[in-house]
Structure 1
Amino acid sequence: MIEYRIEHNPIQVKDLPCRIQRRRVSGWKMPPNTISCCRPGRLGNPFVCESDPQVAVDAFRKLVTQNVGHFEISPGRLQFAKKTHPDTLSPDYGSWLREQAIPKIRTFNLACFCPLERPCHVDVLLELGKKSLIQDGLLIP
């Protein structure tokens, strides 16, 4: 059992927010309490790597946590996605995500089209959201 603390009153919940795989099939609807983190939205990963998705996830982690602005981009390796939100390439993107976006999305499930068995940038967002809850005293580890 996980506890969230709201105004000094701990509230127990069964699960932390989780990753949801979006689907392009008739009748599928995104579950309640879920935010899309797909491109071309601001929460989408601006990087792709067809041969190794972990490379794109690692680049996203560096962009968000370390404000790294220099990446080795090459064919067959890390590349910028064709449809990406222009703000994700801003030098202030990592700060915006950590200081403004994460506090707003940290209690929501996050959805992306990546298969659940593969690495995804949503895992990074969920990790940062959990750290934010702990730092603010809302989650008792």
Structure 2
Amino acid sequence: MTRQPRRIQRRRTPGWRLATATTNPLGAVIVSRPSRYGNPCKITLMQEMGYEDPHAAAAGNFRTWLAGNRSDAPTDEADQRRERILASLPSLRGKDLACTCPPGQACHGDELLRLANLPAAELTARVAVVRARVDRQRIAWGEEPMYAAVA
């Protein structure tokens, strides 16, 4: 019986090791802010904007951004970062994810866990929808599409 992957809290205290924080036989991956999977939306920005729950606001912003919404970050860099995350979601399948957010608090890692553990066909279809959405927005804003049109 396989255990359900979970989000664990990454600690920055001396002696803390990711390998000992998980009992998952597939291991764990760090998804905190400086990692390749980090949330580009800063919690401090959400605090400055006056959100009551800045963690939930940042996690919600990440979910929207990862789904292909370019309104908050309409740049090539942001699109490329989203693509790197989308392309590597299958490598997260079955693994625990470690972020500095405390358990029980909203975190972008929860969205990564959800997407990475979708059935493979569903994940592939969802990623294709996101890519098409990004290209439609890029074209509407007079930019070159990121993805080649599939005939």
| Interval of TM-score (by shorter of Structure 1 and Structure 2) | 0.5 to 0.7
- Larger strand percent: 1
Q: Do the aligned residues in 2 keep the contact of 1:103 with 1:132 (CA within 8 Å)?
A: no
Report SS of the residue matched to 1:91.
helix
- Larger helix percent: 2
Structure 1 stretches of at least 4 aligned residues deviating more than 4 Å after TM superposition? none
Report SS of the residue matched to 1:131.
coil
Aligned counterpart for 2:29 among listed residues 29, 32, 35: 35
Cα offset, 1:133, TM superposition = 4.5
| 1:15-94 superposed matches below 5 A | 15-31=3-19, 33-47=27-41, 48=43, 49-50=46-47, 51=51, 52=53, 53-65=55-67, 67-71=68-72, 89-94=77-82
| 1:92-131 superposed matches below 5 A | 92-98=80-86, 100-131=87-118
Looking at both structures, which has the greater relative contact order when contacts are Cα pairs under 8 Å and sequence separation is at least 6? 1
Please report the TM-score for the alignment, with normalisation by the length of structure 1. Answer: 0.66
Aligned positions, number: 108
| CA distance in 2: counterparts of 1:26 and 1:95, whole angstroms | 34
Cα offset, 1:114, TM superposition = 0.5
| CA distance in 2: counterparts of 1:64 and 1:20, whole angstroms | 21
Q: What letter is aligned with 1:110?
A: L
Cα offset, 1:71, TM superposition = 2.5
Please report the TM-score for the alignment, with normalisation by the length of structure 2. Answer: 0.62
**Identical counterparts, % of pairs:** 31
Report SS of the residue matched to 2:18.
coil
Q: What letter is aligned with 1:101?
A: S
Any gaps of 5 or more consecutive residues in structure 2?
124-151
| CA distance in 2: counterparts of 1:119 and 1:133, whole angstroms | 25
> Taking structure 1 as reference, are residues 69 and 43 closer, same or farther at Cα in structure 2, changes over 3 Å only?
same
Deviation digits for residues 31-66 of structure 1 (CA, Å, limit 9, x no counterpart):
35111111222200111223421110011001112x
Q: What letter is aligned with 1:42?
A: R
Q: Do the aligned residues in 2 keep the contact of 1:19 with 1:110 (CA within 8 Å)?
A: yes
Q: What letter is aligned with 2:59?
A: V
Any gaps of 5 or more consecutive residues in structure 1?
1-11, 73-86, 137-141
